[in-house]
Chain A
Amino acid sequence: MKTEDLRMLKEKALDIRRLTVEEIAHLGIGHVGGCLSVIEILVLLYYRHMTHDPANPSREDRDKFVLSKGHAGPALYAVLADRGFFPKDLLYTLNQGGTNLPSHCDMNKTPGIDMTTGSLGQGLSAAVGMALGHRLKNLSGRVFALIGDGDTNEGQTWEAAMSASMYGLSNLIAFTDYNKMQIDGPSEKIMRLDLLQERWESFGWFTQRVDGHDLDALDGALERACAEAKRPSMIIADTVKGKGIPHIENDYTNHNMPLTREDAEKVYAWLDRCESELEETNREVQP
């Protein structure tokens, strides 16, 4: 990736992290941890790889995205608002009665959402169906999916994994937001997912493992996945639940937590520092 592209994505990741925190802090409570661990993956998809058209969100010749961990909806809403699918003001209606932005993704309510999700384990099956549908209809659009540790606990995810491999769905590229935390504690203590890469490989998927907050590394993995011609791809992204709010990072109670104004202010201060650092680095690399 070109240096300026990487710089743009890094800046975008900071913007989206800030917007997501603003959105949840406005309500005062939300799925903070799992929203903040997926930011870089979403930014990479929506600002570099996916074809989409905010003016016509349902056009047939586009890539599609299934957020199987539907509770990370608020992070995706921040991306969609920033990309122009709907006005940013809408973000402040999150979870309010009558809103078009429910806690979990709803394709019938929110422009740009390609599949309704919320019961873990169901997203990958739907993505398999979409990938089969694209192939049957000769559509070039790829199907991207993002699953979490909780999804990975669900048996249905492994049924979907079998079927994607059986049908050789190279147009299906999935990420695991491997933050290693779930609601009741660290996955290590609740339901171990060790040998995760070997598991996906043994199910016949082209599997890679990268740092899920390293945009350059993620991009490399995604490029290789897009070039894979025969198998579905899984990119296991090592992430930090709550990434960007240092005092809650990796605290499993951050799954669904109150987010006060003061918390938010701390995050903005941290994001400001990151931004200054990024600008500093940019000045250094420029002649």
Chain B
Amino acid sequence: MNYVIERAAQDEQQPEMRAVYGEELVRLAEEDERIVVLDADLMRANGTVCFRDRFPERTFDLGVAEANMVGVAAGLSATGLIPFPASFSCFAARRTFDQFFLSANYARQNVKLTGSDPGVAAAYNGGTHMSFEDLGLMRTIPGIVICEPADPVSLRSLLPQIAFRRGSSYLRLHRKPVTPIYAPSETFELGKGKVLCEGSDLTIIAAGAILVAEAIAAAELLEEKGVSATVIDMHTIKPLDEDLLVRWARTTGAVLTAENHQVQGGLGSAVAEVLGEHCPVPHIRVGVQDEFGEVGTQQYLQERFGLTAENIINQARRLVEKKTGTHRERKGA
């Protein structure tokens, strides 16, 4: 496959994203004393215990009270600090939405909210904890930055940019071990998608640890079957890299989006909005189709909701047929 980036060594062990998150926050806090960490009784789950050990006075565990946590973060920001509050994405987004909307964003504060364990990653915590709607909620907040890094290398590169860009943000963080994607030297720019490989038949746009890895696996298998796909890691969901999206939609004439989220409101919607206005091409959205989550292993849930390389392949072939069909119809007319 025509990779345009250097890949991670394939025998590399699977690192935990939360460990990278915690370590990186410690590193940032060593450089900048404004960095503070907040949590709502999930520091162990979110990988920030190392931060508490290193900077106990700059760590605020607010107990199981997420709304207050986000409000306190806004107050800390109003004194010039850079707060990183975190919780599971279901609570970070749903339960604190008004606080995050108003005290953080409307008040133009600098609150770096992290929602961990998004979508099917919630696995054994089940439907109550399975956020398929957080991106939809967050995308409606004016001026916010929304980022979902796919692996440790991209997380390391993007986190400082999130920290030092003035304004509030939502980091959708996979916390468990992930498939390494990028070579350690790879760098990322907030708001700019990363093209992993270039192909001519369709463009696959994915975000997050699960779907970027599945998209790459799908593209490799599609290649064997004679379908050539461009794969883009759209780590920044807002602001969306519209130029890159439109360029590749024009080049390949078909777009498939893949996300660990409802197809309503998330990456698929964001892409469809841009394509509809600037480059209407056939588009298929792989993601959760208007359903609530449920309990199970991550593997079971990926299969249950079609968040697999296999489903991406099937939908990609459908999409290419659709594209050719449209092409034929146009020719016939």
> Interface on A for B, CB 8 Å cutoff?
60, 64, 66, 106-108, 114-116, 118-119, 121-122, 124-134, 136-137, 139, 155-156, 159-160, 162-163, 166-167
In the assembled complex, the Cα of A128 lies from the Cα of B78 at a distance in Å of 11
Give a binary string over B55-66; 1 marks a CB under 8 Å from any A CB, 0 the rest: 001101011010
CB distance from A103 to the nearest CB of B (A): 14
- A129 touching B73 by the CB < 8 A rule? yes
Partner of A125, one of B57, B67, B106: B67
Given contacts A126-B74, A129-B76, contact A116 B106 (CB under 8 A): yes
Interface residue B102 (Cβ < 8 Å from any Cβ of A): yes
Q: A126-B74, A159-B65 are in contact. Are A137 and B103 (CB under 8 A)?
A: no
User: CB within 8 Å of A: which residues of B?
Assistant: 36, 57-58, 60, 62-63, 65, 67-68, 70-81, 83, 98-99, 102-103, 106-108
Alpha-carbon distance A128/B85, docked complex (angstroms)? 15
Tell me if B78 and A125 are in contact (CB < 8 A): no
Give the chain B neighbours of A118 by CB distance below 8 A: 102
What is the CA–CA distance of A133 and B33 in the complex, to the nearest angstrom?
Answer: 12
Q: Which of A60, A129, A155, A159 contacts B75 (CB 8 A)?
A: A129
What is the minimal beta-carbon distance from A83 to any residue of chain B, in angstroms?
20
Closest Cβ–Cβ distance, residue B199 to chain A (whole Å): 46
Q: A118-B102, A119-B98, A159-B68 are in contact. Are A125 and B74 (CB under 8 A)?
A: yes
Establish whether residues B76 and A133, one from each chain, have CB atoms under 8 Å apart when the complex forms: yes
Q: Given A133-B81, A136-B36, A137-B80 in contact, is the A122-B60 Cβ separation under 8 Å? A: no
| A interface majority secondary structure | helix
Task: State whether A163 touches B62 (Cβ < 8 A).
Answer: yes
Contacts A128-B71, A162-B63 given; does A122 touch B79 at CB 8 Å: no
Q: Are A133 and B99 in contact (CB under 8 A)?
A: no
Is the pair A130, B75 in contact by a Cβ cutoff of 8 Å? Answer: yes
Looking at the complex, which one of A64, A107, A156 makes contact with B68 (CB distance below 8 Å)? A156
- Report the bound CA distance from A124 to B62 in whole Å: 14
Least Cβ–Cβ distance between A125 and chain B, in angstroms: 2
CB distance from B221 to the nearest CB of A (A): 49
Take A122-B99, A160-B68, A162-B63 as given contacts and tell me if A128 and B75 are in contact as well, using a CB distance cutoff of 8 Å.
yes
Residues of chain A within 8 A (CB-CB) of B73 are: 129
Please indicate the chain B residues that have their CB under 8 angstroms from the CB of A106 in the complex.
107
Establish whether residues A130 and B76, one from each chain, have CB atoms under 8 Å apart when the complex forms.
Answer: yes
Q: Which residues of chain B come closer than 8 Å to A137, judged between CB atoms?
A: 79-81
Contact yes or no, B72 A122, CB < 8 A: no
A64 CB contacts on chain B under 8 angstroms: 78
Most buried by A among B71, B81, B108: B71
Could you tell me the distance in whole angstroms from the C-beta of A196 to the nearest C-beta in chain B? 20
A125 surroundings in chain B (CB, below 8 A): 67-68, 70-72, 74-75, 99, 103
In the complex the two chains form, what is the Cα distance from A160 to B75 in whole Å? 12
- Report whether A128 and B102 are in contact in the complex, using a CB–CB cutoff of 8 Å: no
B143 to chain A, nearest CB (A): 12
The complex places the Cα of A132 from the Cα of B62 at a distance, in Å, of 12
Chain B residues near A133: list those with CB within 8 A. Answer: 75-76, 78-81
Q: How far is the CA of A96 from the CA of B73 in the complex (A)?
A: 31
Is the beta-carbon distance between A126 and B71 smaller than 8 angstroms?
A: yes
Name the one of B57, B70, B78, B98 contacting A130, with C-beta atoms under 8 angstroms.
Answer: B78
> Assuming A129-B71, A162-B63, what are 15 further A-B pairs, CB within 8 angstroms?
A66-B75, A107-B108, A114-B78, A115-B75, A115-B78, A116-B108, A125-B67, A125-B68, A126-B75, A129-B73, A129-B76, A139-B79, A162-B65, A163-B63, A167-B60
Is B107 within 8 A of A129, CB to CB? no
Using Cβ atoms and an 8 Å threshold, which residues of chain B touch A128?
68, 71-72, 75
Which of A66, A137, A159: most chain B Cβ within 10 A? A159
Tell me whether B72 and A132 are in contact (CB under 8 A).
Answer: yes
Tell me whether A156 and B67 are in contact in the complex, defined as CB-CB below 8 angstroms, given that A108-B107, A136-B58 are known contacts.
Answer: yes
Contacts of B99 in A (CB 8 A): 119, 122, 125, 156
B84 to chain A, nearest CB (A): 13
B residues within 8 A CB of A114?
A: 78
Task: Give the distance to chain A from B67, nearest Cβ to Cβ, in Å.
Answer: 5
B71 near A160 (CB under 8 angstroms)?
yes
CB proximity of A128 to chain B, nearest CB, Å? 5
Assess A159 versus B76: contact at CB under 8 Å? Given A107-B107, A132-B60, A133-B81. Answer: no
The reply to whether B102 and A116 contact each other, CB–CB distance below 8 Å, is yes
**Chain B residues with Cβ under 8 A from A131's Cβ?**
75
Which residues from chain A contact B108 at a C-beta distance below 8 Å? 107-108, 116
Q: Which of A106, A114, A115, A129 has the most CB of B within 10 A?
A: A129
Q: What A residues does B78 contact at CB under 8 A? A: 64, 107, 114-115, 126, 129-130, 133
